Structure 1
């Protein structure tokens, strides 16, 4: 048996601590080769109306800069192959209604000429991740910033033993929620899990 070489399949730009911890937990359980981008491990939040600034930083401002930062991204001709940039954001603290509605409709504001725009996939939680988790009866919902770190181990809890099946179950529950499209990202992670070739 040999392990299948995995390219970096995505970068997930996360809003804050809850999103950072949850995505890292699922990433770890499925052994998905994706990168999580945050400010100080989510301790300083990234807002929807600040995404255009993030996309102008030294990592995301061009394809070449992105490939320098993440050399494991697969390239085919002049395209990034089997690769996405997800933005995983809460919408409750976005004061600009047009930016918020644009995001909920699957578009990012102020990036129409960005060279990487074809790879952007907005993921929203309306109002926030905790409201979404409550909506899908997730076994643990953080009430404080200190508790948000526990998302990293939540799939190891007695009720939620970590495996692909319960992550698939979580994805199926998310599909039924009108508060999010997070199932798109979770399904993408399931589709890109680490596999052993026999």
Structure 2
């Protein structure tokens, strides 16, 4: 009685291995075909400082440990910062007024967008904004994020959805959200 069970088990094992082998072979052929279609030209620079100026005045400085300039064979060029970036905003006297840091960033040259991802933190005298994704639209001179947490200097905070702010973060707008705020004594009297 034990032999038919063992033989049946071996037959099932062989059929299972054959099915895995056939699946893997087809996937491998597809991967080889895909790799032939995509061609990238990558140029890597380390310890990069990026200067953003407007009307011959430096408005921001960025620092990235690695900057990859990527030119796909079909598509628009872009720059990728796989080890993150830190940007410092400057006033007229070149004093730091705020910063953005993230663990990853991509600059899409044609669309004039910079997308910050992973542990994005914006800090200035008015707010601290934490999110996982923040987009700067150079054409609109605005920042956008699907969601994040805004913290005020007094400790009040808001979980914000559809966050937007001008490039100097002088104010911000949100679609909806919830949070905690502190009111001064006698407020509304």
TM-score normalised to the size of structure 2? 0.23
Larger Rg: 1 or 2? 2
Indicate the structure with greater strand content. Answer: 2
Structure with the largest fraction of helix: 1
